């Protein structure tokens, strides 16, 4: 049976007693409602148990004051009074069935499948239908070959569309992400962001360092291990690894070094926090400084002579060509530091380092950075290159390097005019020859300074790892660039 849900309006009654319903979730009370009637539990034990089961109070012990309101009975279970003074009564055997948990309704039994199924109207046929044509399916029938060909062609067409859509989705995903894969097809972009001449050259360098990438020690990991006294070489579980792929982290570091982008700019491009970018840069700076620094770039005298260009025929014992370069830095607040770092040559606070190249072009020596006020001669004495030079070697320097008394080897330096009014012809030729060959160290320094990080003023916050960054930039130039002169290639 279905019963329409009733809306009861509570009315204040002028009764002394206030009977209330004992059914759970029911708040009906006789004190404020005159439209409901309240009925006590039956005396029959079985019927009373049915009441308790239906109202979900099996362990309840009803008393004479325990009542159930008329909301929980169907209309056919209640006997309405004939006079206003009479009271409502229940039919014999009435049981409460309407509650809050069944929405105060008694759902009818669900009809069976056969009753719910719709059937077409019967058609009266004038002629009897033969029995052999009333079969629902012909399992022995063979489909038409043309229909199979059409279905196969349609399946192939749909599969091609799916492949095209997957390819377009992948391209959109690659274009959205700022990673190395996005620029793999443009050598011009690779050259701009990484200083490598092409994507092939970049991947060749990556294949050299990839075997040791899994051993990289991150800055955050080293700090936490130091606090907890843990083994820093322990391999991290996959859940603790970085979300960015190692090759994309390397690409981020190259962008920071080559394009000179700020950390916040890189954070927006790679969709991460600036502090995460800072940790990645510090991690890869230390890693490449350790990895590239472990490779001995200083060449023996035999190796230098075997690769000596023809232009050095007049200077066959040249081992290294050296020069100093300066990087502008932020002016410190301390007057003492200002006086130490101020460079009269650049008229600014700088950091100065010494770079040496072999005659055929590669960087073979990089010193640490010193304060800008130090002289080139003093850097040469302190950097440690004198320990690598022997008497059978020669050093080619600019006119400002007065280092003849600092080493036991020969020094090729353009001569000074001294007190002479005019330089002799042989000295002029010697000066031109040395200058023509020594200028290649300036070209190498220019290649290193093409990294935009060194274009601006280095802030004091980056001075912590500027030595490592400068050394990595110098050592990377051996992998990023071709030979200085094409005729030097053998």
Residue 248: CB partners within 8 Å, gap ≥ 6? 179, 180, 270
Q: What is the C-alpha to C-alpha distance for residues 180 and 247, in angstroms, rounded to an integer? A: 8
Least confident of 139-153, 182-196, 334-348, 382-396: 139-153
415 falls in which pLDDT band (50, 70, 90)?
Answer: confident
- Does the pLDDT at position 338 exceed 80? yes
- Does the pLDDT at position 127 exceed 60? no
Residue 309: CB partners within 8 Å, gap ≥ 6? 359, 360, 485, 487, 488
116 falls in which pLDDT band (50, 70, 90)?
Answer: low
Q: Tell me what pLDDT residue 490 has.
A: 42
- Does the pLDDT at position 203 exceed 90? yes
Q: Tell me what pLDDT residue 188 has.
A: 93
**Residue among 385, 440, 393 at smallest CA distance from 412:** 393
For the chain, give the percent of residues with pLDDT over 70: 80
Q: What is the C-alpha to C-alpha distance for residues 3 and 261, in angstroms, rounded to an integer? A: 74
31 falls in which pLDDT band (50, 70, 90)?
Answer: confident
Helices (H), 78-144: 113-116
Mean pLDDT throughout 41-45?
Answer: 89
Structure tokens at 274: 């600036």
Q: Tell me what pLDDT residue 358 has.
A: 94
Q: Name the CA dihedral angle for 449, 333, 381, 303, rounded to a multiple of 10 degrees.
A: -20
Q: Tell me what pLDDT residue 292 has.
A: 93
In our burial notation (b when 16+ CB lie closer than 10 A, e otherwise), range 213-229 reads: eeebebbebeeebeeee
456 falls in which pLDDT band (50, 70, 90)?
Answer: confident
Fold of 301-488: Nucleotidyltransferase; domain 5 (3.30.420)
Least confident of 94-103, 174-183, 380-389, 390-399: 174-183
Q: Phi-psi bin for 25: left (phi > 0), alpha (psi -120 to 50), beta?
A: left
Residue 301: CB partners within 8 Å, gap ≥ 6? 317, 319, 390, 392, 393
pTM flag (> 0.85) = no
**Are the beta carbons of 2 and 24 closer than 8 angstroms?**
no
Least confident of 3-7, 64-68, 267-271, 318-322: 3-7
What one-character-per-residue DSSP string does 48-61 give? HHHHHHHTT-TT--
Helix (H) / strand (E) containing 416: none
- Does the pLDDT at position 15 exceed 90? no
Helix (H) / strand (E) containing 130: none
For the chain, give the percent of residues with pLDDT over 90: 40
- Does the pLDDT at position 16 exceed 80? no
Q: What is the C-alpha to C-alpha distance for residues 393 and 33, in angstroms, rounded to an integer? A: 116
**Residue among 74, 58, 78, 69 at smallest CA distance from 27:** 69
Least confident of 267-281, 401-415, 416-430, 461-475: 416-430
Using CA atoms, how far residue 155 sits from 120, 162, 177, 302, 381, in Å, is 35, 10, 33, 69, 78
133 falls in which pLDDT band (50, 70, 90)?
Answer: very low
Whole-angstrom distance between the N-terminal and C-terminal Cα of the chain? 102
Mean pLDDT throughout 258-263?
Answer: 91
- Does the pLDDT at position 297 exceed 60? yes
Least confident of 84-88, 98-102, 313-317, 406-410: 84-88
- Does the pLDDT at position 318 exceed 80? yes
Structure tokens at 140: 């022995």
pLDDT tens digits, 214-256: 888 887 765 555 555 555 555 444 444 456 889 999 999 999 9
Long-range contacts of 248-251 (CB under 8 A, 24+ apart): 248/179, 248/180, 249/280, 249/283, 249/284, 250/206, 250/284, 251/179, 251/180, 251/193, 251/194
- Does the pLDDT at position 257 exceed 50? yes
Domain spans, the chain: 1-117, 147-176, 186-293, 301-488
């Amino acid at each position: 049976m279905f019963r329409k849900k009733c809306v009861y309006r509570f009315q204040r009654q002028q009764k002394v007693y206030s009977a209330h319903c004992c059914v759970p979730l029911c708040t009906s009370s006789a004190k404020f409602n005159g439209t409901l009637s309240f009925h006590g539990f039956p005396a029959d034990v079985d019927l009373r148990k049915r009441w308790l089961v239906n109202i979900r109070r099996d362990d309840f012990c009803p008393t004479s004051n325990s009542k159930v309101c008329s909301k929980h009975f169907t209309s056919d279970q209640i006997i309405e009074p004939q006079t206003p003074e009479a009271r409502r009564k229940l039919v014999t055997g009435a049981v409460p069935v309407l509650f809050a948990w069944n929405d105060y309704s008694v759902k009818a039994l669900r009809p069976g499948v056969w009753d719910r199924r719709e059937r077409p109207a019967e058609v009266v046929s004038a002629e009897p239908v033969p029995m052999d044509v009333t079969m629902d399916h012909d399992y022995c029938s063979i489909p038409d070959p043309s229909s199979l060909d059409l279905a196969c062609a349609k399946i192939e067409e749909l599969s091609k569309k799916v492949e095209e859509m997957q390819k377009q989705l992948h391209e959109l995903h690659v274009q959205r992400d700022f990673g190395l894969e996005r620029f793999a097809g443009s050598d011009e972009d690779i050259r701009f962001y990484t200083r490598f001449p092409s994507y092939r050259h970049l991947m060749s360098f990556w294949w050299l360092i990839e075997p040791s990438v899994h051993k990289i020690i991150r800055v955050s990991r080293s700090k936490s291990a130091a606090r907890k006294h843990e083994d820093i070489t322990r391999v991290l579980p996959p859940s603790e690894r970085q979300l960015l792929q190692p090759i994309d982290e390397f690409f981020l570091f190259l962008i920071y070094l080559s394009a000179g982008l700020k950390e916040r700019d890189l954070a927006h491009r790679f969709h991460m926090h600036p502090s995460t970018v800072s940790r990645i840069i510090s991690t890869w700076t230390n890693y490449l400084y350790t990895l590239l620094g472990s490779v001995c770039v200083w060449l023996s005298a035999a190796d230098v002579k075997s690769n000596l260009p023809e232009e050095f025929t007049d200077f066959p014992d040249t081992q290294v060509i050296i020069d100093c370069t300066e990087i502008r830095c932020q002016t410190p607040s301390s007057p003492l530091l200002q006086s130490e770092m101020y460079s009269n040559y650049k008229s600014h606070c700088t950091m100065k380092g010494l770079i040496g190249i072999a005659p055929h072009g590669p960087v073979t020596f990089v010193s640490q950075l010193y304060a800008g006020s130090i002289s080139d001669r003093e850097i040469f004495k302190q950097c440690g290159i004198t320990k690598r030079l022997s008497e059978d070697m020669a050093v080619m320097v600019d006119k400002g390097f007065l280092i003849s008394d600092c080493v036991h080897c020969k020094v090729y330096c353009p001569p000074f005019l001294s007190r002479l009014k005019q330089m002799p012809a042989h000295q002029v030729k010697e000066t031109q020859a040395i200058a023509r060959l020594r200028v290649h160290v300036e070209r190498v320094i220019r290649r290193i300074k093409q990294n935009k990080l060194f274009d601006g003023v280095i802030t004091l916050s980056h001075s912590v790892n500027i030595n490592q960054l400068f050394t990595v930039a110098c050592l990377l130039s051996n992998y990023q660039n071709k030979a200085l002169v094409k005729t030097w290639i053998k």
